[in-house]
Amino acid sequence: MGFFDSILGKKEEPSRPGLPFNITTSLRPMRLSARKESSLELLVSVKNVSEKPIMVSASCEIPRFLGFENVGMAKIKEIRMGELQPGHEKTLSFSICSNSQTPPGTYSAVLTVNHHYRDYSHILNYAKKTVEIRAV
């Protein structure tokens, strides 16, 4: 059905009512190495499905045994994406690292995408998504 929708020009709807954007995530590579220094990229794509430009930012919060750098000190990272025009999509990347203290297991990273108005200190709406990260 998706193929015919693209040909016939069906309008894309938000994944949750009230949100002006859709979020898709992927991991590259699929998992981390436990008890070693390794990293993966959490790719986040945000698509504006409304008819107006929106200001968007994304933040990611990771658990104790992971980090955004090899040292593992930072646990929350925010990226401001700027203004997203109607129908456009932007992809950003969070680099997540394991170290020699990371035990094998499944970890949950919480991704929050914020819809702002006027400036980044005013949040109009937001969506949270949990991404499972495996360390083997």
**44-81 tens-digit pLDDT:** 999 999 999 999 999 999 999 999 998 888 999 999 99
Which among 131, 132, 134, 133 has a CA at the least distance from the CA of 44?
131
Which among 74, 76, 75, 78 has a CA at the least distance from the CA of 56?
78
What confidence tens digit (pLDDT) does each residue in 72-107 have? 889 999 999 999 999 999 999 999 999 999 999 999
pLDDT band, residue 34 (cuts 50/70/90)? very high
What's residue 9's pLDDT? Answer: 47
Residues 6+ apart with CB under 8 A from 13: 49
Domains and CATH numbers, the chain: 14-135 (2.60.40.10)
What's residue 12's pLDDT? Answer: 58
What's residue 3's pLDDT? Answer: 53
What pTM value is reported for the model? 0.87
Give 3-state DSSP helix, strand, coil % of the chain, rounded to 5: 5, 60, 35
What confidence tens digit (pLDDT) does each residue in 118-131 have? 999 999 999 999 99
